[in-house]
Structure formats: structure tokens, C-alpha cells
Amino acid sequence: MNISLRGYSSSSDILNYCVSRNLRFTIAVPKSSLSAFHHDVSPQSSSLLETCSLPHKAIWMEPDLNDYKGVADLNCQYLHNVHKVLRRENAGAFIMEGGMLSFVAKYLGGPRVVERLMASPSIIVHRFHKVAIHFPEGSYYDSHYLLQEPLSNVEECTLYGYVEQYNADSHTLLPTTWIMARYFTPFLQGWMPECSEFIIEVLDGIKCRRGEALMELGWKEYIQQYLWEHDLTGTYHVMQDNTHYGQSLINARFPVSWKKIKLSDIQILEIYNNSE
């Protein structure tokens, strides 16, 4: 998705575009600007642990979902865990992941999840200031992603609703983004209204305490039945610009203090069409 061709110039417009269409995006910085992330760290501090607490603690690990007490109890477990996760500071990470995670976070978490993302910089920068830098595969040689919120695999599994089972096959209360891309044909053209309608139907089933966890084959059959019933079995072509539903925003102009800036106020000087 090449946003520069769509005439957007302000960062807030670009971010709103990505969020409204459930696009995956990150914000990256050139190596020459990394010094902006170090100015708040005391020279006497030898460890991050001396200046701040970690955003993730072991006690935050959600218990595995199980259906030992029936479907209704399973659905209650899921909704409880999801709402707990979406109240956290790093909930904006779900929005930046795009696809299913973004839609579910917005639908179950409400506007506050997006507002929390837009109203402040990454908690990595806000809380830590001095961060470990990792070179992302496929990025520009002089860029490093810094503003992607920390999101654990457990938190992703929580939103998808992974259920503990006796066998090795994965059971989920919701289809993953990968399953949607493989079997839900309207998804090939991006996050279409048909995608929202389908997932809302699944989520409403969970809210009514009748959602069941399915394996990939189960979701394939469920989706095929849904597409047939709603006359959505036509041919869909993958557009080159939409193949990966991703957009990275790079070369941001940094503020003096990350404690006062809003993410939507960052001046994005260059837009990079992600090649992932």
C-alpha cells in the first residue's frame, strides 16, 4: 500500500488511514536520529531496571483457556482475559499489528484502545528512553524500528482465543489473520466490510456464550459455509499493492521531549512502502 500516492501529508491522516483499514504498520527511525532517545537517561544509571519498571511481568501471564466446564464458561474466560489485556498500556500494539488483531482490539476494546495509541509515544520510548536496538529484516539499512509496542505471544494468543487441548493441534475461538488470508476470499482485497460482518458474527456468538474453539480445518469449513450462505464465493483478485496489508512509516522528526508529544503529532518526513 503506497500511501504517498493517495495525497496524505500529515501523520495523523496517515495513521488514521492505517488504523481505519486495519493495516499493519510500524514507525521507524534513521540511525542518525537515535541520539534523540538517549537524552533522558541519567548517566549514573547502569541499568534500565534502576530507572523504570518493566512493562511486562510474570504475573501478567494469562491462564490457558479450557472448556472443561462447557462452552459458556470458555467464552467467559475469553472475554475476561481479553478485556484485561486491552486495558494495558501496550494495547496499541494490537492496532499496529493490523488484520484480525486490530479489528478485534477495536471492537472489544472500544475507542480508548486507539486513543491510547494516538495520545502518547511508544511506552518503550516513554518509559525506557534508552532501548535495545534490533535491525529488522527487510528494512532500510540505516533504519531501526523503535515505536512498535512490546506485544507478547501470550497476548496475541489471548485475543485469538487459543484453547488448551490434549492434542497438539491449535484450537481458537477466532480465526487468525493467517486463516482469514487463506480461506476468507474477500480478505484478499484488504479488510473489506464483509470481513467485519463475519468477525462480528463470530464475536457475537462468543458474547452470547455459544462460541466454539475450532482447528484450522474447522475454520475452513465454517468459513466456506459462511461464504456460500452469504453469496461471497466469487473470484477475488489479489491486488499487488494490498498483498501484505502493511505499511511502515519512516524518518520521523523527533520532539525534544517524548513525555509530552502525541504520536499523531510526529512529523513524518518520508513514507516507505514496506517490502515484507
For residue 174, pLDDT over 80 is answered with: yes
Cβ atoms of residues 242 and 23 within 8 Å: no
What are the pLDDT digits (tens) for 28-79?
A: 655 566 565 554 444 433 333 333 344 444 445 677 888 889 999 999 999 9
Q: What integer pLDDT is reported at residue 93 of this predicted model?
A: 86
CB proximity list for 225: less than 8 A, separation 6 or greater = none
What are the pLDDT digits (tens) for 139-156?
A: 444 445 566 667 788 899
Q: What integer pLDDT is reported at residue 82 of this predicted model?
A: 96
Q: How far apart are CA 97 and CA 152, in angstroms?
A: 12
Looking at per-residue pLDDT, the higher value among 129 and 84 belongs to 84
Cβ atoms of residues 98 and 194 within 8 Å: no
Q: What integer pLDDT is reported at residue 39 of this predicted model?
A: 43
> Cell numbers of 138, please?
527487510
Q: Residue holding cell 456464550?
A: 209
Q: How far apart are CA 22 and CA 44, in angstroms?
A: 42
Q: How far apart are CA 90 and CA 242, in angstroms?
A: 27
Q: What integer pLDDT is reported at residue 253 of this predicted model?
A: 53
What are the pLDDT digits (tens) for 176-213?
A: 999 998 999 888 888 889 999 999 999 999 999 999 99
Q: How far is CA 259 from CA 92, 124, 128, 176, 195, in A?
A: 17, 11, 11, 35, 37
> Cell numbers of 40, please?
533522558
What are the pLDDT digits (tens) for 11-29?
A: 777 788 889 989 887 766 5
- Identify the CA nearest to 86 among candidates 63, 104, 68: 104
Q: What integer pLDDT is reported at residue 130 of this predicted model?
A: 44
Q: Residue holding cell 484480525?
A: 100
What is the average per-residue pLDDT within 254-267?
60
Q: What integer pLDDT is reported at residue 107 of this predicted model?
A: 97
Q: What integer pLDDT is reported at residue 14 of this predicted model?
A: 78
CB proximity list for 104: less than 8 A, separation 6 or greater = 82, 94, 159, 174, 199, 203
Q: What integer pLDDT is reported at residue 72 of this predicted model?
A: 96
Domain definitions of the chain by residue range: 9-37+66-272
What are the pLDDT digits (tens) for 91-143?
A: 888 998 899 999 999 999 999 999 888 876 666 555 544 444 444 455 444 44
Handedness of CA 154, 137, 146, 34 (dihedral sign): positive
Cβ atoms of residues 174 and 65 within 8 Å: no
What are the pLDDT digits (tens) for 210-256?
A: 999 999 999 999 999 999 999 988 766 554 444 344 445 544 555 55
Burial of 74 (0-12, 13-18, 19+ CB in 10 A): buried
What is the average per-residue pLDDT within 79-84?
94
Distance of CA 200 to the CA centre of its chain: 18
Q: Is 247 helix (H, G, I), strand (E, B) or coil?
A: strand
Q: How far is CA 147 from CA 9, 85, 96, 110, 248, in A?
A: 20, 19, 10, 22, 11
For residue 272, pLDDT over 70 is answered with: no
Q: pTM of this prediction?
A: 0.77
